[in-house]
Structure 1
Amino acid sequence: MTARFRRLLDGLWDDLRALDGRVSKLDGEITAIATNEPSAVHLQQLRGVGPMIATALVVALGDARQFANGRQFAASLGLTPRQHSSGGKDRLLGISKRGDTYLRTLMVHGARSALRTAKSKEDRLSQWAVRLAERSHPNVAAIALANKTARMAWAMLRHGTDYQPNQAAA
């Protein structure tokens, strides 16, 4: 490598280290907010919800009074099936993918993480997710789990309750 190219790579390496340090600082701030905000602490009881998802949910939901029910919140994220129904026949296709793409992406990645560890868990929600992943595509199961998590997050914030694993799976 030439000396000029080495200087160029050295400068890029310095930029990368500076960005990495900035990301670490911002992660620390998000974690601090998530530990000091009571609503975020409650939401972190859900499987697949960490500090980043919990703070994003608190920002998006607030006290959850702007949504009449959990389905409306999940629909605002684009996690509900799009309906193509007519003549009394209900046809539900893929998810609509409309709404808050950032929060939907976080919820889906959190659901994938929870789905990966669900096989070792014995609670009803984990067993439901494992059964769903066995009979359908894993991506479908991840979206369904993200949808269910969004609805539970809405209910927890709306009613001010803690996570109740016995009532999680239907």
Structure 2
Amino acid sequence: LGQWVLEEACRQAALWGRSCRTGRRPMVSVNLAARQLTQADLPAQVEAALRAAGLPAAALCLEVTEGALLAGGERATANLVACRALGVAVALDDFGTGYSSLSDLLRLPIQVLKVDRSLVQRLESDAGAAVVRAVCASARALGIAVTAEGIESAEQAARARALGCRRGQGFYFSEPVPAELWAPRLAGAAAPP
């Protein structure tokens, strides 16, 4: 199933890229399961999916959770390093829910850190804001982009941005949209209702 999702996401992203008139190629993210992350041929699977779809590697981001990385050990890290060598981005998803520490950011081949919604929901408290500010500052110093997950309001988006999260994800921006309704947005047409 994981391989099919990867192939389908690459195929759809390539279609969107060809129809996009905004001048910006869309990036697609694919969540990898712990089991998939430790498959010896994962880098070859990624490369084959990109080639079959005609998708540039820079248009794909592989998302992994802290738990999957921990469970996958050295094999998981080696696979991510190999995928990075292909030009694919890697995101650490749900940061703050597992056992990763800021020092882990030094050894992991990631370009994006996705702060879990449980931390984002605490942005109004001084302690919650301090944690997110520290995470953002550390990531920024390492050249890692930060995305705040679970943004549900303009206030949360503004607060996350003020604390250093340059990207956001959540229902405030959009609910999940079927591919056929997303394509007109990329083509520069009016957004669907």
- Which one has a larger percent helix, Structure 1 or Structure 2? 1
Q: Report the TM-score when normalising by structure 2.
A: 0.24
Rg larger in structure = 1
Higher RCO (CA < 8 A, seq sep 6+): 1
Q: Report the TM-score when normalising by structure 1.
A: 0.26
